Amino acid sequence: MPSTINIIMVEDHPEYREGIALALETEPKIQLTHQFGMAEQALRALEHDTNTDVVLLDLNLPEMSGLEAIPWMIKYRPDIKIIVLSQSDDESDILQAIHLGAAGYLLKESTLEQIINGIQTVVKGGASLDPRVAKFIINTVQKKIPAPNAKQLLSERELEILKLLSEGYMKKEISDHLKIETSTVATHVRRIYEKLQVPNAPAAITKAYRTGIFSSGD
């Protein structure tokens, strides 16, 4: 994790934006470098940016929406972590944001501590989901019709690692738990993403439930 996490916020409500900005000023290892009211402004900055680690992104923005902006942000900065910070707990918004590549989804009523923890988690390579959002995703995708032979997509070890990811384990923690090298875990995780055709851990976990790789009893 970088010594200082550089963040930009894309939020069209000045009062909320300023409240988060003031709160983050007390965090010595987190630097809010830019604030934007429109997605287009953020994209122009990111096109030539090399320092930003995390984007806090609202979905309901004027002109280009947050969902429309996510693929462009990832195109300009494939390594950047995007945390959606939205009022919306709508199923389509949540699942689409994760599918497009968001590393986290937090509701605006999240506490500052939850937001800071979410920022730190995604920078470390984890997934940051509001507890209610995570529960909602699981309850929703469990209702989907399982794909036949879905579990055959992944090896036994890959299934084991994906289950640990779903429980919030980081790659280093998985390495320690399974007594294998961190690089080996990273290789397995990369293959999981490739096989499931997803960009990150939240999307992999969601697809695992949706396709029946994970059952309701897992």
CATH 3.40.50.2300 range(s) for the chain read 5-138
Higher pLDDT, 145 or 40: 40
- CB within 8 A of 188, min separation 6: which ones? 157, 158, 161
Average pLDDT over residues 61-86: 92
Question: What is the third-level CATH fold of 5-138?
Answer: Rossmann fold (3.40.50)
- The label of the residue with tokens 């200082």 reads 4
Lowest mean pLDDT among 4-8, 60-64, 179-183, 214-218: 214-218
* CATH class belonging to 146-211: mainly alpha
Angle separating helix axes 66-76 and 91-100, nearest 10 degrees? 10
The CATH 1.10.10.10 domain(s) of the chain lie at 146-211
Percent share of the chain, pLDDT over 90? 46
Q: Which residues pair with 30 in a beta bridge?
A: 5
Q: What pLDDT does 67 receive?
A: 92
Residue ranges of alpha helices (H) inside 103-180 are 112-123, 131-141, 156-166, 171-178
pLDDT value at 140 more than 70: no
Residue with the larger pLDDT of the pair 205 and 142: 205
Question: 0.85 exceeded by the pTM?
Answer: no
